[in-house]
Amino acid sequence: MSLEFRTLQPAEFYLQHISTGVRPDGRSLAERRPLSVSAGNITTADGSAVVKLGATTVVCGVRAELATPRTEEPELGYLVPNISLPPMCSTLFKPGPPSVAAQSTSQFLATVLATSGCVRQEDLCISPGKMVWVLYIDLVCLDHSGNIMDASVSALTSALETVTLPSVTMDTDTGEVVVSDKKRTKLKLDSSPVSTTFAVFNSTTTSSPYLLSDPTSEEEQLSSSLVTVVTTGGDVCHLHQPGGDQLSPQLLQQAVQLATNREKLVAGKTN
């Protein structure tokens, strides 16, 4: 009967569980799935990481290339994140051009990099106006079982922590460039942003909606809205809500508080 109820009325099935404080998978509303990180294992990349958040799996590789800086920003390098959501990761995605979800997630990652100050673009400058580093941050989702945002940010920051750049010398007169792999410099990170995503379920018995941390794919599809809070150093650097119902200031404040508490917990584990 429970399986039939879940199949025929999934929203009501979830609400009945959530109202008791326990989700169908046994987690409490604020409980997150196990997170595992394996960094630096892809030898063909300048930095890499594989992150599993529950069953959601994201691989990230960082490739460094030399380029000419923009004329208006002669001392700034580039950070170019891009995520691929292939059909193998979920039945939600089809072959062809990048999906809307992939494009919006790539833009989300670019915004996180810009607002968190994770990597100072000035540190990627080799010769002002002539040469800078470009970091191509390529992510591939192998299994999309929900909460791709948090998994992607974890994979991105973990991969950047392993990046080393070869030494580069440039003759300013001749323009000759010499790249040496014998001496590599570790990329400096000024911060490690932490992403925390919530699914919002409207209650049928109370006026206060439920916040579910680290939603699964099924929870994301059944929720009334999603919100991702990215924090660094105890401050919010980005807040992302891809449509859905408008959230009240009280609910947003609750989400921000939970995200800030989680960042402190993550920082305590890594120190």
Q: Minimal CA–CA distance to 266: which of 219, 237, 230, 216?
A: 230
4, with CB counted inside 10 A (0-12, 13-18, 19+), is exposed
Tokens 């401050």 appear where? 235
Q: What is the mean pLDDT of the chain?
A: 91
Q: For the whole model, what pTM was predicted?
A: 0.92
From CA 122, how far away is CA 203, in angstroms rounded? 48
Q: Is the pLDDT of residue 119 over 50?
A: yes
DSSP-assigned letter for residue 22: B
Structure confidence at residue 176 (pLDDT): 80
More confident residue, 102 or 204: 102
CA 187 to chain centre: 19
- Residue range 65-82: average pLDDT? 94
- Residue range 182-200: average pLDDT? 94
Portion of the chain with pLDDT greater than 70, in percent: 94
Specify the pairing of strand 78-84 against strand 131-143. parallel
Instruction: Quickly state the pLDDT bin for 270 (edges 50, 70, 90).
Output: low
More confident residue, 205 or 254: 254
- Residue range 225-250: average pLDDT? 92
The two three-digit tokens of residue 77, written as one number = 């390098």
Portion of the chain with pLDDT greater than 90, in percent: 72
Instruction: Quickly state the pLDDT bin for 183 (edges 50, 70, 90).
Output: confident
119, with CB counted inside 10 A (0-12, 13-18, 19+), is buried
Judge contact between 263 and 232, C-beta under 8 A. yes
Tokens 């006026």 appear where? 207
Q: Cα 238–241–247 angle (5° rounding)?
A: 110
More confident residue, 91 or 175: 91
pLDDT tens digit sequence for 13-58? 888 889 888 999 999 999 999 999 999 999 999 999 999 999 999 9
